[in-house]
Amino acid sequence: MINALRWLIFAIAALGMNFPILVTLATSFKSARELSTNPGLWVQAPTLDNYFAVFQVSDRLNIFLYLFNSITVAFIGTTLAVVLALPAAYAIARGKLGERTLLPFIVNLRAVPLIIFAIPLYMMFQWLALLDTRLGLGLILSIVNLPLALVILVNAIRDLPAELDEAALMDGASRAQILLSVIAPVCRPAIVTSLIFGFITAWNEFLFGLMLTTSKAVPITVGASFFFAASGGGVQWGVASAVMVVGALPPILLGLIMYRQISGSMTAGAVKG
Amino acid sequence: MNTQRAHSSEFRLLVTPLVLFLLVFLGFPAIVNLIYSISDVSFETLRQPRITGLSNFAAVWNDSAFWQASWFSLRFGVLTALLECGLGLFLAIFLSPLIERRSWLMAILMLPLMVAPALVGLMYRLVLHEFAGPVPYYLWAWFGASFSFLGPTSAFWTLIVVETLQWTPFALLLFYMAYRAIPTEIVEASAMDGARRWHLLWFIELPLMAPTIVVALLIRFIDGFRVFDNVYVLTGSGPGGSTASLSIYIYEAFFKQGAIGKAVAASVILFAVSFAVLYGLNLIASRRKGAVK
Amino acid sequence: MGTISLRQAGKQYGAVEIIKDLDMEIADGEFVVIVGPSGCGKSTLLRMIAGLEQTTSGQILIDGRDMTAASPVERKLAMVFQSYALYPHMTVRQNMGFGLKLARLSAGKIKAKVDAAADRLKLTPLLDRYPKELSGGQRQRVAIGRAIVREPVGFLFDEPLSNLDAALRVDMRLEIAKLHRTLGATMIYVTHDQVEAMTLADRIVVLKDGRVMQHGSPHELYQNPANLFVAQFIGSPKMNVLPCQRNGDGMLDLSGEGIVDLALSSSAAPVHLGARPEHLSLVAPESGHCRGTVEAREYLGGTTSVFVRNPKLGLINVSAPAETQFGIGETIGVRIDNSRLSLFDNTGTAVRTLR
Ligand SMILES: Nc1ncnc2c1ncn2[C@@H]1O[C@H](COP(=O)(O)OP(=O)(O)OP(=O)(O)O)[C@@H](O)[C@H]1O
Ligand SMILES: [Mg+2]
């Protein structure tokens, strides 16, 4: 009896929280004609037309470019964050360097409204000619990803026995060698987690994409909104839905494949940080 | 000279890249922020800002839109944090017997977390659309009436619901983990002591989860307070600036009005307040830890 | 060569002195075992010698050269850790060869050395396994193998056997003893285990609160403890300590419970009498040095420990023949072998004035 109630609540929660995703998915398979008569959740005559339309490149809309931009900036923003965070995490966890200064500062960064850095970054990028470039957006996304990557990696390294380092020191390794040939391979799960997490975060980022790009480096989150203003006569909901499905799919798939690691590190980032 | 000292210089070398990176991409902007906030500056005079003192801060202080945005962010942060954590706590505990045995249920509940808030905002434009949206459609079909979700009186509450539905899974996930981490011995011991289900929840489980609840409330408040993406794409700042968060206020001051000084001054205020609050919280947290030990 | 000398070596953490002005000379090829209560600084001392812990005062010399500030590799010492600390992502072969690889030896040389070490430790069939695929004893052997491939001048062991079960511990103990004989290298070995200390050591160093209480051969420490602490720390079961004082005749008075006939020099003022359980015997009440009631009996197979309660002297542990049949509560006499006892003055220092 109580179990039936649990299932009912679960169904309501799952439906409610995923409602916009379901609606968008359904709408993306509706033809323009069906859309005007049937706004409901059920698709009467599924069609892929909207997806063909989305992947049609015009001089104003180019979904391939947006996807490519998102992949590139997410890649830069993720790897750079991990490449910077891993050695620092090692120095923090083992060298006790910046444990009370750098670490809390970076962890707090996760909680600071990033808009406060956006304006000077915009101006700085203007001077450096990094506006509307994938590199520029990738650099900023690595700042967004740094706090969580650092927390995950510091926790992972702290969990390793110090004797492992000491054995390597006795073997004659330098700290950099220990990091590369002992710590990094042993921490691979944590590194993978921070990469995935970073990729999802970077892919989903919107504010900096909106501010720092205009055409060449526009990521999909911003590009998707272009489809809403596509034609003069109002929004083509079918096409708009298809583009949102395309834009939401990569992080959803990554998340579904890796959700165990992600749920673990979400708690890590939240509670231990 | 010393081994230990040699070690620490090696370690110092390892943090150097990160520190340099932060200095360039955060330190430098912070300085620019500070200078511009006390200057008379426009897009034409970016390189020769004229120091004018605190007039930008005065402008922000006297701008009713700034206070409206602050009030919006504060209310939005508090309400969504409470709703998300309340709902998440209930679901975590009530559904945990189901999820324990089938972890894919959690994957389904976690889906909204994977989707960009900007896209979720755009999705709601469809969901709530008066002709194409299923919500008004079903409301008409079942109740013969619907209402304007993004109108002046309702937009705020619609945004609250949108944010809550997307981020409740975050709280749910944290609470579920904390709930599962409660040692079974403790639960069994309290059962031996004759605790009823309700007592168990109130005297054992909730107190043990309290630190997680505090953390979740805090994180969700912060994220709600600085909200930008979904609000911006769903309502812009309208109707009539009623849904401008502080982030949107700064963004619009800069990009729409070109009021660089004002935008930067607001950023500095936000920066100072957030770091003061965060620093205070850290202090309290470390005090606590000290007291427990 | 592998002489190790500590000159006034000290270690401080902030204001806390963990190791205090320690002097020690370890000869080439010597097997030194460091024992002491938990937290006395054994690991710290070993790690100072290894170079893993900074020495805050004094000097550490290896083969006569000042190595106080040298890095661990420069000291040419190898260490075996309690938790083995094998690299989990490397095979046994890679684990053993890692140090050689860092020293830029050629692949052929590495292989030859690893193979030789593996052969010596019977690890050859395991060379391509990962640490998680090994048993505890095998892991321990790999850790030792990793230490010997680099042909160090000395080996440092920090409780290397404490994670193994009892039977395996005996095997590995013998193996380490054999290794020491064949390699002839200097070894410093930290342990909690009495038996390991007694059987392995050329010399035992007893540490307390960062100071050396006594050092010497196992026999010396057992027979002639320099102080009450060493007397009670070395030997299992523990030495009995009974209150006593000298009487007017220069004899030893057991708090009025009996007299031990023992002539003391005029200056000696012992207040504690130490007697190991095996140097006591149970006799008829009237023929013992003191008497008491049997409070408990523990049958140990080879012997039986009989605990005799005397109201003034406390609980006395007597190691009796296994088949001893005294009933609980029975009154009984205890005889002390007066040629084997130790005496201590009120500072706990041994009084060596027996004639
Ligand atoms: N990093 C440190 N900071 C401050 N004190 C320390 C530190 N490391 C060890 N100590 C202290 O130094 C003392 C000696 O520690 P050590 O590990 O050498 O003891 P030990 O004799 O090896 O003990 P055990 O037998 O339990 O292994 C202990 O009191 C310990 O608390
Ligand atoms: Mg120790």
Does ligand 1 have an atom closer than 6 angstroms to the CB of C38? yes
For residue B283, the chain A residue with the least C-alpha distance is: A104
Question: C residues 216-235 near B, CB within 8 Å?
Answer: none
Tens digit of pLDDT for each residue in C309-326? 999 899 999 999 988 888
Tens digit of pLDDT for each residue in A65-110? 999 999 999 999 999 999 999 999 999 999 888 888 888 888 888 7
Please tell me the total count of domains within chain C: 2
| Beta carbon pairs, B and C, within 8 Å | 11
Which domains are seen in chain B, by residue range? 68-292 (1.10.3720.10)
Top-confidence residue, C334 or B52: C334
Task: Tell whether C58 is within 8 A of chain B (Cβ).
Answer: no
Q: Per the domain annotation, does C179 fall within a domain? A: yes
Confidence at A232, pLDDT banded by 50, 70, 90:
low
- Region A146-164: what's the mean pLDDT? 92
Chains in contact with C, where contact means 3 or more Cβ–Cβ distances below 8 Å, are: A, B
Segments of C191-345 assigned E as strands = 203-208, 211-216, 240-243, 245-246, 252-253, 259-260, 272-275, 280-283, 290-299, 303-310, 314-321, 331-336, 342-344
pLDDT confidence of residue C204 = 96
Please judge whether C72 and B3 are an interchain contact, meaning their C-beta atoms are less than 8 angstroms apart. yes
Q: What's the predicted TM-score (pTM) here?
A: 0.87
Q: Per the domain annotation, does C116 fall within a domain? A: yes
| Beta carbon pairs, A and C, within 8 Å | 57
Please judge whether B17 and A91 are an interchain contact, meaning their C-beta atoms are less than 8 angstroms apart. no
Shared domain for C29 and C137, answered yes or no, is yes
Atom 5 of ligand 1 has which residue's CA nearest to it?
A: C13
Closest atom of ligand 1 to C41 CA is: 18
pLDDT above 60 (res C347)? yes
Q: What average pLDDT does the structure give for chain B?
A: 86
Instruction: Identify the domain boundary among C227, C255, C290.
Output: C227
pLDDT confidence of residue A230 = 56
Q: How far is CA A221 from CA A130, B120, B229, C28, in A?
A: 19, 10, 10, 71
- Region A201-216: what's the mean pLDDT? 92
Assign C272 to helix, strand or coil.
strand
Shared domain for C286 and C211, answered yes or no, is no
Atom 2 of ligand 1 has which residue's CA nearest to it?
A: C13
Q: Per the domain annotation, does A126 fall within a domain? A: yes
- Region C210-231: what's the mean pLDDT? 93
Confidence at B292, pLDDT banded by 50, 70, 90:
very low
Does ligand 1 have an atom closer than 6 angstroms to the CB of C191? no
- The whole-angstrom separation of Cα C89 and Cα C131 is 8
Question: B residues 18-57 near C, CB within 8 Å?
Answer: none
Shared domain for C152 and C277, answered yes or no, is no
Q: Per the domain annotation, does C107 fall within a domain? A: yes
Please tell me the total count of domains within chain A: 1
Shared domain for C167 and C280, answered yes or no, is no
Q: Per-residue b/e over C36-70, b at no fewer than 16 CB within 10 Å? A: beeebbbbbbbbbbbbbbbbbbbebbbbeeebbbb
User: For A23-27, B46-50, B216-220, which range has the lowest pLDDT when averaged over its residues?
Assistant: B46-50
Residue A204 is part of which domain span?
A: 66-272
CA of A168 to the centre of ligand 2 (A): 19
Name every chain A residue with its beta carbon within 8 A of the beta carbon of B114: 200, 204, 248, 251-252, 254-256
- Region C31-53: what's the mean pLDDT? 94
Shared domain for C334 and C277, answered yes or no, is yes
Shared domain for C254 and C192, answered yes or no, is no
pLDDT confidence of residue C263 = 73
Please judge whether A186 and C89 are an interchain contact, meaning their C-beta atoms are less than 8 angstroms apart. yes
Tens digit of pLDDT for each residue in C78-98? 999 988 899 999 999 999 999
pLDDT confidence of residue B1 = 36
DSSP state of B279: H
Task: Tell whether A206 is within 8 A of chain B (Cβ).
Answer: yes
Top-confidence residue, B44 or C225: C225
Shared domain for C213 and C242, answered yes or no, is no
Q: Per the domain annotation, does C232 fall within a domain? A: no
Shared domain for C155 and C271, answered yes or no, is no
pLDDT above 60 (res A228)? yes
pLDDT confidence of residue B2 = 44
pLDDT confidence of residue A233 = 62
Q: Per the domain annotation, does C26 fall within a domain? A: yes
Please judge whether B127 and A19 are an interchain contact, meaning their C-beta atoms are less than 8 angstroms apart. yes
pLDDT above 90 (res C107)? yes
Name every chain A residue with its beta carbon within 8 A of the beta carbon of C81: 163, 166-167
Task: Tell whether C70 is within 8 A of chain B (Cβ).
Answer: yes
Top-confidence residue, C255 or B78: B78
CA of C40 to the centre of ligand 1 (A): 7
Does ligand 1 have an atom closer than 6 angstroms to the CB of C42? yes
Alpha-carbon gap: A122 to the closest alpha carbon of chain B (Å): 9
pLDDT confidence of residue A105 = 85
pLDDT confidence of residue C354 = 54
Give the number of other CB atoms < 10 A from CB of residue A104.
17
Tens digit of pLDDT for each residue in A163-198? 999 999 999 999 999 999 999 999 998 899 899 989
Nearest to C68 by CA among B5, B143, B265: B5
pLDDT above 70 (res B192)? yes
pLDDT above 60 (res A38)? yes
Name every chain C residue with its beta carbon within 8 A of the beta carbon of B1: 69
B76 token code pair: 């939005």
CA of A5 to the centre of ligand 1 (A): 56
Question: Percent of chain B beyond pLDDT 90?
Answer: 35
Alpha-carbon gap: A59 to the closest alpha carbon of chain B (Å): 23
Shared domain for C51 and C84, answered yes or no, is yes
Atom 3 of ligand 1 has which residue's CA nearest to it?
A: C13
pLDDT above 60 (res B5)? no
- Region C55-73: what's the mean pLDDT? 92
Does ligand 1 have an atom closer than 6 angstroms to the CB of C40? yes
pLDDT confidence of residue C355 = 46
pLDDT confidence of residue B231 = 93
Nearest to C82 by CA among C1, C159, C196, C165: C159
User: For B23-27, B96-100, B192-196, which range has the lowest pLDDT when averaged over its residues?
Assistant: B192-196
Q: Per the domain annotation, does A145 fall within a domain? A: yes
Q: What average pLDDT does the structure give for chain C?
A: 91
Shared domain for C149 and C37, answered yes or no, is yes
Please judge whether C73 and A171 are an interchain contact, meaning their C-beta atoms are less than 8 angstroms apart. yes
Tens digit of pLDDT for each residue in B130-179? 888 888 888 888 888 777 888 888 899 999 999 999 999 999 999 998 99
Does ligand 1 have an atom closer than 6 angstroms to the CB of C147? no
Output the domain CATH number for residue A206.
1.10.3720.10
Dihedral (CA of B32, B38, B42, B47) sign: negative
Q: What ligand has the least distance to the C-alpha of C39? A: 1
Contact in structure between A139 and A73 (CB atoms under 8 Å) = no
Does ligand 1 have an atom closer than 6 angstroms to the CB of C299? no
Tens digit of pLDDT for each residue in B32-63? 888 888 888 777 777 777 788 888 888 888 98
Q: Which of A52-66, A133-147, B190-204 is predicted most confidently?
A: A133-147
Residue C246 is part of which domain span?
A: 237-353
Q: How far is CA B219 from CA A32, A198, A208, B164, C32, in A?
A: 42, 18, 21, 13, 56
CA of C44 to the centre of ligand 1 (A): 6
Closest atom of ligand 1 to C46 CA is: 18
pLDDT above 80 (res B195)? no
Q: What's the N-to-C CA distance of chain A in angstroms? A: 40
- The whole-angstrom separation of Cα C285 and Cα C191 is 41
pLDDT confidence of residue B40 = 82
Shared domain for C139 and C257, answered yes or no, is no
Tens digit of pLDDT for each residue in C148-172? 998 999 999 999 998 888 888 898 9
pLDDT above 60 (res B293)? no
Question: Percent of chain C beyond pLDDT 70?
Answer: 99
C16 token code pair: 């806390």
Shared domain for C221 and C144, answered yes or no, is yes
Burial bucket for residue B103 (CB in 10 Å: 0-12, 13-18, 19+) = exposed
Top-confidence residue, B2 or C304: C304
